[in-house]
Every structure is written in C-alpha cells, then in structure tokens.
Amino acid sequence: MTSESMNVGALPRARSCAVLTHEGGLHARPAIKLTQLAKRFESAVWIALAEQGPWTDAKSIARVMAMKTPHMATLYFVAEGEDADAATSALANLVESDFADDDNGR
C-alpha cells in the first residue's frame, strides 16, 4: 500500500493504492463493505483500476460492482475533502486486510 497527501486547490486531496487479494475479485460482499466505508467520509472518494483512472464514485455500489474487478487487480483511490487522507488510507487498509473486520470479511 502506498499513500500520499497532496494539497492542490482549496480542498485537501489524497491518494492510495492496494492489491485486491480477495479470492475471486471484488464480489458483492467486499464491494458492499468498500462502498459503506467510503460513505462514512465527507470527502468525495473515487476508485480506479489504473493510476490515471478512469475514476469511479467509490460510494456507489452499482458503479463499483460494474467495474467487475478481478482478483489481484491493483485498486487506486483518490479522495478530495477535509478527511481525504483518512478516507484513502482506510480504503487501502480495507482492501489490504482482505476486507477483514469483525466477521473476517466473509
């Protein structure tokens, strides 16, 4: 995982990335977790399969599922807002921990 902060324009901006080790890819269960986490932040959060985009709204389950992300893809996150830094590192952590939480991500 890499994470960096930037300060372009008025709002703080941050990026991160992580490899999707979840078996089978970004399926419904991990995608629900990812969008739910993204929605907890005030910042606008985007997700992409390449460093240069195209970018997808990480708070939309429909858009995130439509990416049909395969196993071992690298996911890139960009956030813009007061809590951008926290958002991008939380999302990268979630992916990196294989969506682990109270129920082991399953």
Partner 1 sequence: MEGDATAVICLRGTPVSPGLARGPLIIVADDTQSASREGGSAEEEAARMHAAIASASVELETLMERAGDDDAQTILAFQVAMLADPVVAEPAFAAIGRGDRAEDAWRATMRLQIRHYHEADDLYFRARASDLRDMRDRVLRKLNGVAATPIAPGSIVVATDLPPSRFLEIAWDGGGVALRHGSPNSHVAMLARSRGVPMLIGVEDADLCGHTEAIIDTDNAILVLSPDDKLAVDFASRQQGAEILRAEAERYLNVAAATANGERVQILINVADATELDAFDPAWCDGIGLVRTELMLRDANDVVSEEKQYQSYCRILRWANGRPVTIRTLDAGGDKPVAGYTIDGEANPFLGMRGLRLSLLHPEVFITQLRALARAALLGPLKIMVPMVTSPRELDRAGALLDGAVAALRRQGIGCARPELGMMVEVPAAALAIDLFEADFLSIGSNDLIQYVTASSRDSSPLAPLQDPLQPAVLRLIREVVQRAEAQGISVSLCGDMASDVRCIPALLGVGLRSLSVAPSAVARVKAAIARYRVNEPKE
Interacting residue ranges for partner 1, rule: CB under 8 A = 21, 23-25, 27-29, 32, 35-36, 57, 60-63, 65-66, 68, 70-72, 103, 106
For partner 1, the closer of residues 14 and 37 by Cβ is 37
Shortest approach of partner 1 to residue 106 CB, angstroms? Answer: 6
User: Choosing from 3, 12, 19, 27, which is the catalytic residue?
Assistant: 27
Q: Is 71 known to be catalytic?
A: no
Asked if residues 6 and 55 have their Cβ atoms less than 8 Å apart, the reply is no
For partner 1, the closer of residues 50 and 62 by Cβ is 62
The packing angle between helices 28-39 and 84-96, to 10°, is 160
Least Cα distance to 41 among 8, 17, 77 occurs for 77
Asked if residues 43 and 79 have their Cβ atoms less than 8 Å apart, the reply is yes
